[in-house]
A and B are shown apart, each in its own frame.
Chain A
Amino acid sequence: MTGPADTPPLLRIEGLVKRFPGVLALDHVDFTLRAGEVHGLLGENGAGKSTLIKTLTGVHPRDAGTIRMDGAEIAPRDVADAQRLRIGTVYQEVNLLPNLSVAQNLFLGREPMRFGFVDGRAMRRAAREIMRGYGLDLDPATPLGQFSVAVQQIVAIARAVDLSARVLILDEPTASLDAQEVAQLFATMRLLKARGIGIVFITHFLDQVYAVCDRITVLRNGRLVGERAIADLPRLELVSMMLGRELAEEERQTARAAPPSGGPPLVAFKGYGRRGYLEPFDLEIRAGEVVGVAGLLGSGRTETAKLAFGAERAGTGAVAVAGTAARLRSPRDAARLGFGYCPEDRKTEGIVGELSVRENIVLALQARRGWLAPLPRREQDEIVARFVRLLDIRAADTERPIQTLSGGNQQKALLARWLATEPRFLILDEPTRGIDVGAHAEIIRLINRLRANGLALMVISSELEEIVAYSRRVVVLRDRRHVAELDGEVSVERIMTAIAASA
């Protein structure tokens, strides 16, 4: 069902530009929201969804472009100002106060007063009425924290709407809800839609897009890919809008190696998983082989990596290394087994920004030796010099903090950290995220070289063309589950079809 098409749009954004130092986060993006529609805002990490929302609600000042509401130009200065302009936002993590009652949460800052004192009875009565309007009969004096996340989410929406919102932005509200709670939330969204509120819905679950959205707008790399009515948009097309296919020709060289020789796989996971984190999966990786891991954001890619490295404990299953059962309960175990892991989020999980490039590179090696056996400085310098040469790390001085390096060079230094431990199995999570095109191609060449040298690799990437360029096999995830393992002639089309197949 689509909203009325002939009425003037509730919200119209035109040519929105937002620059951050070194990045064009939004490049002339248009966005139109009609009254009484649920409008999905889609895109992978770094597509510009949250920048768009933050620029719209005044968290970030915009560099160019216009925002019109009912045809009149508006310029919110901050979230509160946006709220006054009747744009309400509800974030993924509920931003209410679990220690206060439902009624207090709904009315904080605008409590009904009587003789100069808060009129608790009137407040609770009004709160009960409001929540009834959302189909929930609850005791408004109960602390919010005692309700499920879904109910808290609905209370947050009720507060935003009751502050007279006409535009309601829901930023990944379903991320921590179970299926039944999602249904409850969707019922609420449909209710508000019927009242003529325009809802911007950010999610990365395709099923939810098809369940509740009327239209969608897809962003990629800060640019508008397109706006479509959901009714006549095949899943495959939506996935290809989100993932795009714009890798440079030179990186596409599919120098795929011959299948590696027989013998037991280097690493074999069997029934490996944890309840509520990732469905159990089977996966075998041989020496001299790259296994690609593909899937949309939130599908369980990073979870797979963390389980495989012992950073998260598996609840079920077993792992065998070179044919013998192994213990993998912590990253320390993993390092001992000869595993290496470059995490997705370099800044918070990878580099130690204040330490020098040298210290960052020798970190894992030193950790494996134990702190009582410090690596002699001369040896450290040799290792660092070797990898700087080998990986072409461009650092003016390896004694300077690593945070002064560019993203690509930080990534290479991280890779060097694990290569210095001479691993047998290397897990790379989004190794090319946030680095420039030149460094991008270099990382891909490096992955191919490491494979040729006999390393077993598991590489996670949202760039399918890139996965195709170095993987012989590709594992496809959806909704925290390994749904397919593609072998032989892996192509972008096959991966997309596997991702888009409805559950």
Chain B
Amino acid sequence: MSRRFMPLAATLAVLIAGTLFCALQFPNFASTRVLGNLLTDNAFVGIAAVGMTFVILSGGIDLSVGSVIAFTTVFLAVAIEQLGIPPFLAFALVLAIAGLFGAAMGALIHWFRLPPFIVTLAGMFLARGASFLLTTDSIPVNHPLYGELGDVAIRMAGGGRLSLVAMVMLAVFAAGMVLAHLTRFGANVYAIGGNRVSAELMGVPIARTTVGIYMLSSTLAGLAGIVFSLYTSAGYSLAATGVELDTIAAVVIGGTLLTGGQGYVFGTFIGILIQGLIQTYITFDGTLSSWWTKIAVGVLLFAFIVLQRVLILGWSARPATVARV
């Protein structure tokens, strides 16, 4: 097996081993019902994590994701409940706002040569502050469309429900994989993450790509916010705190290098599933505190970062073989 796929294989192995462990311990675990719930519960994190994958692949980071999700839920609640804007129009508006917000961050990062960490940290405060500006209350959304959308689901064999939000997440992951591996934009993201200067010398449009990456991340965070709004039927400015860190964790556990240039969108999907698996285990167990999720994720993160380091050192030691013709 190619060494490139080792982090991905390790992640997959962890997922399979974890699932087997849970299935052996809890007889009801291996069911489509559990799977459906797991996908639904993690849909918004997963959608945001796809955007984060592109950001990290390009060697950057986006800390504003959680705040953008919160802003989106508050914006939707205020727009739909207090201003009476039709939900679909509100969805389109908030996606446009999020997209512009991300583009602005990307532009700052590119043209002012600012570190993404600082720019998106500012973005994080800004978006969170903006949602407080709209309202400090938790506003429930009672629009009938929310109920209707919540009922949309595919019934799976064994009684599980594949909800609309889960389907949206799966679609986003599929689209993310196509974007990463089958388009010039994707190739350019990997190129910038590999070496920005070289990429520029090779003719990669750095400006357009950088702006595009952060725009993509924020837009997907906006979409994650819509999903979160549908999932909770409420808008609250303190929602989704720390979600950006969960997405970063999922990306890294999924085998993407934090330094950029290497990784897979599919890996992020596995990373999300592993996090969901841990949560589900704790729910099933019933006696464990939910903080054990954080501890388990922390341990996994350490393990994967070390694994990546070891693999990289191994790479530089053994050059690939070439046959002379």
* Residues of chain A whose beta carbon lies under 8 Å from any beta carbon of chain B: 79-80, 95-100, 104-105, 108-109, 111, 117-118, 120, 132, 135-139, 141-143, 145-148, 151, 159
Contact = CB atoms under 8 A, between A and B. Distances in A.
B322 A138 contact: yes
Given A100-B191, A142-B2, A143-B4, A108 B323 contact: no
B182 interface: yes
Contacts of B320: 138-139, 142, 146-147
A96 B2 contact: no
B116 interface: no
Contacts of B261: 97, 99-100
Given A97-B199, A99-B194, A100-B194, A151 B322 contact: yes
Contacts of B191: 97, 100, 104, 108
Interface string B251-281: 0000000000110000000000000000000
Nearest to B192: A97
Contacts of B315: 145-146
A99 B261 CA distance: 6
B324 interface: yes
Nearest to B3: A146
A96 B319 contact: no
26 contacts: A79-B201, A95-B197, A95-B202, A97-B261, A98-B195, A99-B190, A99-B194, A99-B195, A100-B190, A100-B261, A104-B187, A104-B190, A108-B188, A108-B202, A109-B184, A111-B187, A118-B184, A120-B181, A136-B322, A136-B323, A137-B324, A146-B3, A146-B315, A146-B320, A148-B322, A151-B322
Nearest to B179: A117
Given A136-B324, A136-B325, A143-B4, A99 B193 contact: yes
Contacts of A95: 197-198, 201-202
Contacts of B289: none
A98 B3 CA distance: 14
Contacts, number: 90
B158 interface: no
Interface of B: 2-4, 178, 181-184, 186-188, 190-191, 193-195, 197-199, 201-204, 261-262, 315, 318-325
Contacts of B322: 136-138, 147-148, 151
B324 A97 contact: no
A97 B184 CA distance: 15
A80 B178 contact: no
Given A111-B184, A111-B187, A138 B203 contact: no
B319 A148 contact: yes
